[in-house]
Amino acid sequence: MNREIIKYPDLILRKKCQEVQEVTAEIKKLVEEMILALEKKQGVGLSAPQIGVLKRVIVIETEKGSAGLINPKIIKKSREKEIMEEGCLSFPGIWLKIKRRKEVEVKALDKEGKGIRMEAKGLTARILQHEIDHLDGILFIDKIGFWQKLWRLLKS
């Protein structure tokens, strides 16, 4: 199945996603389709609501390749934050400077239903935070600071 990526301001992107109760063949297929969609768009991360599925599933690109995370949850985060420019497949062509935690630890299930933990920093930590936000209907435009908002407003 060819999955289209839903663009802002579609209201689906504002919905809260449901936990996956059981990692079935259907969920495994969803993860595989999301990885294909991510690779096709040459993105670094994608969440299920971005293809219209309101389930807590994300896929991310890491140094070791693509990974699917089911019911991902941040269990630890560094106090330190950093600002980096980021984009989103639901906002083509838009790049914003966003402040996020420098390091996070995430627990999740993999597509076989096995519990995993992932410690990440830098770009991977950023992607995890961005995609997990999507599962709660939070978008990166919600995270920009006051001055950046004002500057964009003055520029438009």
State the residues that interact with Zn ion by CB under 5 A: 88
Min separation Cβ 91 and Zn ion, Å? 7
For 63, the 3-state DSSP assignment is coil
Helix intervals (H) in the chain = 25-41, 122-135, 146-155
Residue 88 vs 98, nearer CB to Zn ion: 88
CB of 12 to Zn ion, least distance (A): 13
**Cβ-based burial of 33 (10 A; exposed 0-12, middle 13-18, buried ≥19):** middle
Q: How many CB atoms lie within 10 A of CB 137?
A: 16
Residue nearest Zn ion, CB atom distance: 88
Closest separation in Å from C-beta 45 to Zn ion: 7
Q: Assess whether 86 carries a catalytic annotation.
A: no
Active-site positions? 131
